[in-house]
Structure 1
Amino acid sequence: MTPPELLALRSPAAVRARCHQVLDHVLAGHSPHFTVDEGALGAVADYVAEVTRSDYPTLDIPYHSRWRHFAAGGIDRWAALEAGLGAIEAAERARIMIDLAMVSVLLDAGAGDAWRYREAETGLTVTRSEGLAVASLRMFEAGGFSSDPAQKLRVDAPGLIALDAGTLAAHFQVSADNPLVGVEGRVLLLNRLGRALAARPDLFRDGALRPGGLYDALAPTAKVGRLPASAILVALLDAFSAIWPAGLEVDGVALGDVGRHKAITVPDRSVGLVPFHKLSQWLTYSLLEPFEAAGLAITDLDALTGLPEYRNGGLLVDLGAIVPRHPVDPAQKHAVSSEMIVEWRALTVALLDRLADPVRERLGLDAADFPLAKMLQGGTWTAGRRIAAERRPPAGPPPIAIDADGTVF
């Protein structure tokens, strides 16, 4: 049985609370890695608001989710795929959307600067997160994650367990001249996802064992058609904390995307632990639309946190809110488990919270119209990519490099 203090780390509230503890630690001057210039948040808010208005002049901003990447190059690939589904029930459409989003998000952990995907259907060449999204959608469309040739548009446990690196590499056009970071790690993650699905028929529909079964598990818990966003995340963390190859383990309990930092001083087994659950929260953001498409209203979006990844974190470094105490070589990679990277990620989560209201003020929007899920999209992720390209052209790598394995940031 999981100790309650470790179980409590599987929540967005724990992510937020402990990241703010790290921020307090840094603000008190105790960090050998960073200082924080709170006065710079105004300039960051100005920049984010400017980018948001540029990309969304009407301020009709969608959620930050994988569905944005499926429209790379201005082509709505999901709409085209959906049009071929014909007259199916809303629940099955939601299951298909969840299946697709699940594998695509888990394959989205940094492609490296060299990888490209040439889409045969459009002739477009796409890179980075957008390229990974398009490649995963085309692999899904081809039945690459299904064990049943008669049902290509699904993901199931046997299909994932049988997946190998050669198959993924072929679908993603990987070669010596087109290298993709962490192919083996991505396959291992999907294999583990398959085993996790098989182990939880209560969540993923006994017999089908597909991610889309999450709809059937959660929809009945919605009260008056309203489902809290955190319920999706908690279900994902309950089912999948053990799938992360690089995830932290404490006393035999797989915690997933959790780091260690000395700022966390508590008298129990969670001492020093800072949860992030970055990909799980990114997946949660990406599952909002499938649940909404089935008629459910997702509530309490800001219970989730900002995402501690290098575009959001890089924005804060590049614009002077997070200040390294010593010069950082952007070409030198740091272990994702190192205290420096754990601290950078924690500061990113906490400062995104502090950034939200100033950005809302500049845009004339309130929290209901502009939750974190929209600020990330509008927003900080794009602004982080843009400022990186300005500061370190042409590729625009982050100001601090992370040695990631293609699974956990």
Structure 2
Amino acid sequence: MASSADAAAAVALLRRPETIRERCHALLALAEADRLPHFALRPERLDAAADYVVDTIRTRHPDLAIPYHARWRHFAAGGRDRWGGLAAGLRGREPAEIARMRVELCVVSVLLDAGAGAAWSYTEPATGAVLGRSEGLAIASFDAFRAGLFSGDPVRRPLRADADGLARLDAAALGRAFQAGPGNPLEGLEGRAALMRNLGAALRARPDLFGAGPPRIGGLYDRLLGQAGAGGLPARAILAAVLDGFGPIWPGRLVLGGIGLGDVWRHSLAAPGGPAAGLVPFHKLSQWLAYSLVEVFEDAGVPVSGLDDLTGLPEYRNGGLLLDLGVLSLRDPPLAAAPLPVGHEAVVEWRALTVALLDRLAGRVRARLGRPDMPLARILEGGTWAAGRRIAAELRPGGGPPLRVVSDGTVF
């Protein structure tokens, strides 16, 4: 049995973005040797995939002024700047307090973003717009935040997310806010509500990160601000704080030395001789949250460095792009017809190959655009994620993914 020190070292290793990248690229090397059990790789299709992504970028962003792949894009669904409208009413408030509010809105919204399912939608009360998937989840969470759903004092201080407000949130209240019901089913509703309650408990457990009286998510802004140096705030510091502070919230996952690992899964061929053998970390939601928080700090005048230390995101749009364009193919095609649990080795393999192949795609996209320094966070937003949605809509009614992954409301 591993010592507690060994377990702590393994957990730290699995939280490093370098480990995500290394283990995913190691599985890609096995794919190149045709040694993976579930997927075959056709590397000659990468150039066509890069062309498709570049075409998507030039169509959506002809000036190449691409924002980060962040939650803030969804808050502007339909061309309506909802955060800008809310912020206009906050003039005169302390800038640091506005930044704390943005951190809180961003965290709860990202953590509630796991796949909604094709049958769910949200009708925005202010406009009557009907929105599904990520956009619908974003606007539903935005409206819920504005209404004080996550605040312990929703009447006097609605625009906050604190331990008191999160601890009392149940599935019924969240379902009402998200308009979920028998005719509008939201996948993973119970899991989402439990995640919010777990988040409240995590805030209470870490006053060093979130403050006290009551602890609030926005305390993370102040903690990270103290880590900014002359070169700004490292992106990896944002991810480390997210994984450290929110690590305990993930339910029903692998545990090492009493510490929950979060978005870490088993693959029989992963790191067979290394520490934490057989484990592949992804931290998809945490990395997307880190990308989203970058914008908060930069808008507050704090530059963020080392953005490409973080990885591409292993979710069904990026991964679906690779399947739909033939870069990857299933060895057992009937798997595409069955709902797969997120821990199924085929899903783990698909996600790992997605992370590694996004690095390969990004190099080709940068070369085609003549922008060698374009951050991966912009390539994800302008290109791969949007291209994955585009090709899915071209190939399947409703634009669903090529593989069906069972969501518990906490992964995708």
User: With structure 2 as the length reference, what TM-score do the two structures score?
Assistant: 0.96
Shift of 1:310: 0.4
Which residue pairs with 1:46 in the alignment? 51
- C-alpha separation in 2, matches of 1:207 and 1:89: 19
User: What are the ranges of 5 or more consecutive residues in structure 2 without an aligned counterpart?
Assistant: none
Aligned length: 406
Letter of the 1:161 partner, please give it: A
- C-alpha separation in 2, matches of 1:372 and 1:314: 18
Which residue pairs with 1:315 in the alignment? 321
Query: Residues 268 and 50 of structure 1: is their aligned pair in 2 closer, same or farther, counting only changes over 3 Å?
Result: closer
- Equivalent residues of 1:160, 1:191 under 8 A apart: yes
Deviations 1:239-294 (A, max 9, x none): 12221114322342211000111222344550101000000001101111111121
Deviations 1:357-376 (A, max 9, x none): 11011112122xx1110011
User: With structure 1 as the length reference, what TM-score do the two structures score?
Assistant: 0.97
Equivalent position to 1:347, from 348, 353, 364:
353
Alignment of 1:1-400 (within 5 A): 1=4, 2-148=7-153, 149-224=155-230, 226-267=232-273, 269-328=275-334, 330-367=336-373, 370-393=374-397, 395-400=398-403
Deviations 1:141-181 (A, max 9, x none): 00000001210000001110100111001111111111111
Query: Residues 323 and 331 of structure 1: is their aligned pair in 2 closer, same or farther, counting only changes over 3 Å?
Result: closer
Deviations 1:217-257 (A, max 9, x none): 01111112600111000111111222111432234221100
- C-alpha separation in 1, matches of 2:146 and 2:58: 34
- Equivalent residues of 1:63, 1:285 under 8 A apart: yes
Identity %: 56
Letter of the 1:111 partner, please give it: A
Equivalent position to 1:407, from 404, 407, 410:
410
- Equivalent residues of 2:8, 2:257 under 8 A apart: no
- Equivalent residues of 2:45, 2:327 under 8 A apart: yes
- Equivalent residues of 1:142, 1:152 under 8 A apart: yes
Secondary structure in 2 aligned to 1:3? helix
Letter of the 1:121 partner, please give it: A
Deviations 1:6-43 (A, max 9, x none): 22111111111111111112222221211111111100
- Equivalent residues of 1:227, 1:299 under 8 A apart: yes
Secondary structure in 1 aligned to 2:226? helix
Letter of the 1:402 partner, please give it: V
Deviations 1:305-342 (A, max 9, x none): 00000000000011111121121454421111111100
Query: Residues 159 and 225 of structure 1: is their aligned pair in 2 closer, same or farther, counting only changes over 3 Å?
Result: farther
Q: RMSD of the TM alignment (CA)?
A: 1.2
- Equivalent residues of 2:23, 2:271 under 8 A apart: no
Secondary structure in 2 aligned to 1:175? coil
Letter of the 2:82 partner, please give it: R
Secondary structure in 2 aligned to 1:53? helix
User: What are the ranges of 5 or more consecutive residues in structure 1 without an aligned counterpart?
Assistant: none
Secondary structure in 2 aligned to 1:211? coil
- Equivalent residues of 1:244, 1:408 under 8 A apart: no
- Equivalent residues of 1:112, 1:181 under 8 A apart: yes
- C-alpha separation in 1, matches of 2:15 and 2:133: 29
Moved >6 Å (runs of 4+): none
- C-alpha separation in 1, matches of 2:108 and 2:35: 40
